[in-house]
Amino acid sequence: MTTPRTIESAAAALRSGEASSVELTEEALERIAALDERLGAFIAVNEAGALQQAEQADADLAAGVDRGPLQGIPFGLKDILATKDQPTTANSLILDPAWGEGYDSVVSERVREAGAVIMGKLVLSEFALGTPDEEKPFPIPRNPWRLDRSPGGSSSGTGIAVATGMVLGGLGTDTGGSVRFPAAYCGHSGLKVTYGRVPKWGCVPLGYTLDSIGPMARSAYDCGAILNVIAGHDPCDPTASAEPTEDYLAGVEGGVAGLRMGVPREYFFDHEELDEEVRSATEAVIDTLAGLGAEVVEVKLPHSDIAKEANTLTMVCEAFAYHRMDMGSDRWTEYGKGARNMIGRAALYSAADYIQAQRFRSWYAKQAARVMADVDALVVPMTHEPAPAHKPPDMNRRLTMPSYAGPFNLLGYPALALPSGFSSELGLPLSAQIVGAPFAEALLVRMGRAWQQVTDWHLQAPPDDAPGGEEA
């Protein structure tokens, strides 16, 4: 099996003349033609537009115009981000087709200006929260390693497309783990950025105080390359931070020697539902980084189980405010079952519950700040188990499942999901997570790079004939 392309290797190939953007784009289109019907990654492919952009990227490079590492790279956008040349659906019959018509979101515009070849719009969970619904006219996304397993959500299509080479990088959004879950279940890297690091204008909202747009790609390095393009203030987004950006790849080869790596055992490592292989794979990340010179520091981040609940409550209540006018009307059944249940459930909370979640958030942020004052990063499992069965779990069961992603959305901290191995029984990807202080994305990319220089989990690609289809 050949090593799959990364943005890093493809960008080098484009500049050495080993490959052209048109060739990379045709490769990606071939992958889409071969796999997408079975895997359900794309809502809409823009073949003609992609080839045109690829020709332009090649012409620019030939003329000495180098826009950076995304130039000429096959790229995908979650279909929650407005694009001027394709409709935006949010994977829902509800979204007004006029929304997003004829203009780009800030991030769509930025990746376009960086010369990325936009292959099309990628599948997501409805409004970034629902579940796949066979009664609706949208593709059913499937895990590329086993078709009867979930690819994770909500940025399912981006996860599948990156894992299978339909794109070399893409964008997802993360409100409670939606960049990191599909990255984890599909076996590649995904970076949830600091709240406010990337402007959200032109992105359909889910949870206003939690949403972030982040890179998804095979490697941590590639995530840094994408972040270099999309990070930075924009006045159209009142929540966009004015904190200066930096070159997220400048120190990428700096290694981890001397870094203090916090390990919060409570909840993140001792939960009764944590899969043993996920736990031991995360321990291996810690041991390996320690072997490269990082110092392990045991830390306490109390009430992280409640932080998960505060994140969920905040997310669904904010989403319900956005959706209530449609949900409380004759359009109710135009939503999929999952979105109806997850968002409509917010009606059962009180206004005081929402405010209390924000008061808890203040308290939890202080605890986390104390921890981060003593360490450079935290290392924890990304998920509590490998990809679960494709059938959506019982909605009431979802209330009690642990989440190692949500607490960091509540905090607004950056977190990088990294492949950490495979499960022994079904060969499903495992994932760990490195979490940083606000705006520490460059450090996370550097730590991810160190891990991925001594492992090759992120370079494993699923077989084109993945098993499990007979049960899917």
Q: Give me the active site residues, please.
A: 78, 154, 178
Position among 357, 371, 378, 415 found at the interface with other proteins (CB under 8 A): 357
The residues with which 191 forms a beta bridge, in sequence order, are 416
Query: Which residue of 73, 179, 285, 310 would you call a contact of other proteins, by CB under 8 A?
Result: 310
130 binds other proteins (CB under 8 A): no
- Residue 104 DSSP one-character state: -
User: Minimal distance in Å, beta carbon 129 to other proteins?
Assistant: 16
How many residues at the interface with other proteins, by CB under 8 A?
Answer: 42
Beta strands 260-264 and 295-299 are parallel
Q: Is 93 in the site for other proteins (CB under 8 A)?
A: no
Establish if 345 lies at the interface with other proteins (CB under 8 A).
Answer: yes
**Of the candidate residues 12, 33, 347, 454, the single one contacting other proteins (CB under 8 A):** 347
Does 291 sit near other proteins (CB under 8 A)? no
Give whichever of 246 and 266 is closer to other proteins, judged by the CB atom. Answer: 266
Question: Binding to other proteins by residue 84, rule CB under 8 A?
Answer: no
Asked if residue 324 binds other proteins (CB under 8 A), the reply is yes
List of residues 6+ apart from 101 with CB closer than 8 A: 87, 88
Among 338, 344, 421, 436, binds other proteins (CB under 8 A): 344
* Residue closer to other proteins (CB basis): 365 or 472: 365
Does residue 154 have a cis bond before it (omega within 30 degrees)?
yes
Task: Examine residue 401 and tell whether it contacts other proteins (CB under 8 A).
Answer: no
Q: Which is nearer to other proteins, 157 or 177 (CB)?
A: 177
Q: Which of 78, 36, 155, 29 is nearest to 464 (CA)?
A: 36
Nearest CA to 416 among 440, 398, 392?
Answer: 440
Q: Which two tokens stand for residue 100?
A: 């997003």
Residue with tokens 């879950």: 181
Closest approach, Cβ 376 to other proteins, in A, equals 24
Identify the residue whose tokens are 């095979």: 218
- Rounded Cα–Cα distance for residues 224 and 11 (Å): 14
273 binds other proteins (CB under 8 A): no
Q: Which of 30, 33, 34, 358 binds other proteins (CB under 8 A)?
A: 358
308, 407 in Cβ contact below 8 A?
yes
Phi, psi of 433, rounded to the nearest 5 degrees: -135, 130
- Encoded tokens for 89: 């659906």
- In whole angstroms, how large is the CA radius of gyration of the chain? 20
Nearer to other proteins, 121 or 308 (CB): 308
Task: Choose the stretch contacting other proteins; rule: CB under 8 A; options: 58-66, 81-89, 135-143, 301-309.
Answer: 301-309
One-letter amino acid of 58: D
362 touching other proteins, by CB under 8 A: yes
195 counts as binding other proteins under rule CB under 8 A: no
Number of Cβ within 10 Å of residue 370's Cβ equals 12
With contact defined as beta carbons under 8 Å apart, do 129 and 315 qualify? yes
Question: What residues make contact with other proteins under the rule CB under 8 A?
Answer: 201, 209, 234-238, 303, 305-306, 309-310, 313, 324, 327-330, 332, 340-341, 344-345, 347-350, 353, 355-363, 365, 395-396, 399-400
